[in-house]
Structure 1
Amino acid sequence: MADPSALFSGSGPVRAEHRFDEARLERWLGETIPDYSGPLRVEQFAGGQSNPTFRLVTGNRAYVLRRKPAGVLLKGAHAVDREARVIGALGEAGFPVPKLYGLCTDDSVIGSWFYVMEMVEGRIFWQSAFPQLPQAERVACFDAMNDTIARLHRIDPISAGLADYGRPEGFLSRQVARWIRQYRDDPQAGRLADMDMLCEWLPANLPEEQGAAIFHGDFRVDNMIFHPTEPRIVAVLDWELSTLGDPLADFTFHMMMYRLPPAIGGGLEGFDLPALGLPTEEDYLARYCRRTGRERIGHLDFYVAYNMFRLASIIHGIKGRHLRGTASSGNPGEIVDALPLLAARARQQVERAQAV
């Protein structure tokens, strides 16, 4: 698989299918941001598989705009308004997120809802092993990921003003049903036997849920901005899937990097972790448990199977949008190619769970 940093890093001209009225946007920016000063130049980030993402460059500052994509959208997807709300609330709570400047729900501005946030400068890594860093910094960055997600799960949703941000009761059941529905409701993207099996197994094997926390939903290394020179996280990005829910489902999405190959999400499979100075899966789980006051994570294989299925359903949706010509990124093929392997890995987690 090609280097994802080459495929999805950087920004360039706005692709034809995502162009909009830049003059109308600039008027909105001037009306919304008190110290806004043009002129405006708009570039499109290479990434952004779900919501098209743009770099707004002015004379003295840069911003980021995320919008809903064009075309027919699946119900509940591309919720930029929820992204904006949680970013604003977490910023007030002192969690590392970009500063929110405004949300626009007027389709007449650029053709769909969008929000504008701070452009945070720093480093984005695409491989969970941080191979380009010296060992001491690599180890510190790895621990920073663990500490940051534990910190998120310790935030009280009520104190953060997010008490009504989701329905924690029955969270896993609803989530499993949602991703099964999203997979089945897009027949144009095709069917896989492994995915069909998971559609039957997951709802029949739901574990007891473990409370509720602010749930990121896509906590992985390339959704974090690290300080330009220090091994710490200065911003967590991409809150489209955030809600209130079982924190173990959120954490195990992050730690499934241990059970995936580098070709899928920069996984750690095949790496010599001791040689790299990185913790094993067991050690990483233990660190999170210590930081969140837990003894252990039960039903680990179920949670990982669920999260692999969920990621596969998202990729399945990208495949469908690509076939319909509405994919947000110009490079979805590499991700779509990984779909059968990811579905097979999810089925392997089921086999692990059944063997216990």
Structure 2
Amino acid sequence: MSTRDETSAPRSGEELDAGKLLEWLKRQNPVFTGPLQITQFPGGASNLTYLLRQGGQEWVLRRPPFGTKAKTAHDMGREFRVLSALHRVFPYCPKPTVSCEDESVMGCPFYVMERLNGIILRKDLPPELTLSPQDARTLCEHLVEVQVALHHVDVQAAGLADFGKPEGYVRRQVEGWNERFRKARTDDVPDAEELMKWLAGHLPPESGRAALIHNDYKFDNVVLDPKDPLKIIGVLDWEMATLGDPLMDLGCSLAYWIQADDPEELQLARMLPTNVPGMMTRRELVDDYARKSGLPIHDFHFYYVFGLFRLAVIAQQIYYRYVQGQTANKRFAQFGLFVGLLCFRAEQVIQSGTL
């Protein structure tokens, strides 16, 4: 089955200097020779991802978006570090190759890693891939299994025990994302003050759980085996990984999960094929995670509401860059509407008490 994530010429304004990049790569590792072909992967609302090809060899390059001002939000060195440590103990992690902090090369830090060849699901299933209802459910089960496996990684053995501060993690997350939204808000999106007040006033008790969490775990950040599309062979995009509460990670995953019976307005926000017949519901995902992880989950609404709001803030930060002229990517022009929809959905969950 040939359903690899296809690349194309870099988008206007997001091109890389192939000559300067190749010169630097050659000095770092003799495996890099010329000439170098550079294409760009689809997506890339946050960090940008490129395919580097030399003959039959391929690598992936990751760099921050053009025009970004907050380097701490796009820390390439940190992402490279987690990959360097994690790929030895977590078989789904791609192997990093080289990292560059010298901004004279590209104007920003970046890193290069191995390419994991496989299927990456986007909004709809590729035409070549057909899933029966049982297949879809099995794929959901595998998605949960890999997330649970990540949350059970021995961070001491991986050398990542200092990768975050799990104590007080939930409170810091709520306070931090509230502050980010206020700083990035534009006049054409809701002020979300009541939503932020609800989150701050409904913090769950400190759980004492500490795990390595991905913070953006979803279908289009996992790679499926092209020979067995129900099998996950890789997890990508580790830019927000840290030590924290695993239920917060699950809540962030759930924010992307638009199920088949959701109302029409929520279907407009669907980015993944989570509406395919047989896919688990959000409730089923939470229950499956609880069984496989052994973590008791009494009430998940706070985590889901937080996930929705956090996703709204991420979209708003991107939209703010567009409004400020820091990026001309037309894909971002409608992100303000997306922010309003996510905030509205979060308020619905608060009022209804259902997932």
Which band: TM-score by shorter chain? 0.7 to 0.9
Corresponding position of 2:48: 52
Cα drift, residue 268 of structure 1: 7.6
Listed as ranges, the matches of 1:166-245 within 5 Å are 166-188=164-186, 190-193=188-191, 195-210=192-207, 211-230=209-228, 231-245=230-244
Q: Which moved more, 1:64-73 or 1:96-105?
A: 64-73
**CA distance in 2 between partners of 1:94 and 1:318 (Å):** 31
Distance 2:121 2:193 in 1: 33
Tell me how far 1:134 sits from its aligned partner.
Answer: 2.4
Q: Is the 8 A contact 1:50 1:328 kept in 2?
A: no
Inter-partner Cα distance in structure 1 for 2:292 and 2:279: 18
Equivalences for residues 1-356 of structure 1 within 5 A: 10-74=6-70, 76-127=72-123, 132-135=129-132, 136-188=134-186, 190-193=188-191, 195-210=192-207, 211-230=209-228, 231-256=230-255, 257=257, 261-266=266-271, 271=275, 276-294=277-295, 296-327=296-327, 331-353=331-353
Report the alpha carbon displacement of residue 90 of structure 1 after superposing the two structures with TM: 1.6
Distance, in Å, in 1 between the alignment partners of 2:300 and 2:124 is 20
Letter matched to residue 57 of structure 1: R
Q: Secondary structure at the match of 1:159?
A: helix
The answer on whether the counterparts of 2:61 and 2:112 sit within 8 Å (CA) in structure 1 is yes
Return the letter of the residue paired with 1:146: V
Secondary structure in structure 2 of the residue aligned to 1:92: coil
Task: Tell me the SS of whatever aligns to 1:283.
Answer: helix
Give the whole-Å Cα distance in 2 for the aligned partners of 1:302 and 1:130.
Answer: 34
For the aligned residue pairs, the C-alpha RMSD in angstroms reads 2.5
Q: CA deviation at 1:174?
A: 0.8
- The match for 1:6 is none
Q: Quick check: 1:215–1:246 contact (8 Å CA) kept in 2? A: yes
Determine the C-alpha separation between the residues in 2 that align with 1:267 and 1:38. Answer: 37
Identity %: 33
Letter in 2 for 1:115: Y
Q: Tell me: CA distance 1:268–1:41, structure 2 relative to 1, closer, same or farther (3 Å).
A: closer
Report if aligned partners of 1:153, 1:247 keep a CA contact under 8 Å in 2. yes
- The letter of the residue matching 2:102 is D
| Residue aligned with 1:169, SS | coil
Supply the distance in 1 between the matched residues of 2:166 and 2:34 (Cα, whole angstroms): 43
Stretches of structure 1 lacking an aligned partner (at least 5 in a row):
1-8
Asked if 2 retains the 8 angstrom alpha-carbon contact of 1:89 and 1:160, the reply is yes
Distance 2:286 2:125 in 1: 16
**Are residues 173 and 101 of structure 1, via their aligned partners in 2, closer, same or farther at CA, if it must alter by over 3 Å?**
same
Cα 1:278/1:129, change in 2 over 3 Å: farther
Structure 1 position 189, deviation (Å): 6.2
Report the alpha carbon displacement of residue 187 of structure 1 after superposing the two structures with TM.
3.6
Secondary structure of residue in 2 paired with 1:299:
coil
Q: Alpha carbons of 1:189 and 1:71: their partners in 2 closer, same or farther (altered >3 Å)?
A: farther
Given that 2:301 and 2:350 are in contact with CA atoms closer than 8 Å, whether structure 1 keeps it comes out as: yes
TM-score, length-scaled by structure 2: 0.88
Q: Return the letter of the residue paired with 2:45.
A: Q
**CA distance in structure 1 between the aligned counterparts of 2:175 and 2:144, rounded to whole angstroms:** 28
SS state at 2:157 partner: coil
Q: Flag the 1:178–1:130 CA change in 2: closer, same or farther, 3 A.
A: farther
CA contact (8 A) 1:56 1:65 kept: yes
| 2: CA distance, partners of 1:197 / 1:74 | 27
Alpha-carbon distance, 1:335 to partner: 4.3
Tell me by how many angstroms 1:127 deviates: 4.2
Deviation at residue 352 of structure 1 after TM alignment: 3.3
Letter in 1 for 2:49: T
Q: Match of 1:48, as an amino acid?
A: G
The count of aligned residue pairs is: 341
Runs of 4+ residues deviating >6 angstroms: 128-131
Structure 2 Cα separation of the partners of residues 262 and 209 of structure 1:
34
Deviations 1:54-98 (A, max 9, x none): 111111211111112232423631122222111222211133022
Change (3 A) 1:32 1:80: same
1:28 Cα offset (Å): 1.9
Q: Are 2:121 and 2:272, in contact at CA under 8 Å, matched by a contact in 1?
A: no
Q: Using the alignment, how far apart are the partners of 1:217 and 1:312 within structure 2?
A: 14
Q: Does structure 1 retain, via aligned residues, the 8 Å contact 2:122–2:273?
A: no
Indicate how the Cα distance of structure 1 residues 150 and 328 shifts in structure 2: closer, same or farther if over 3 A, else same: farther
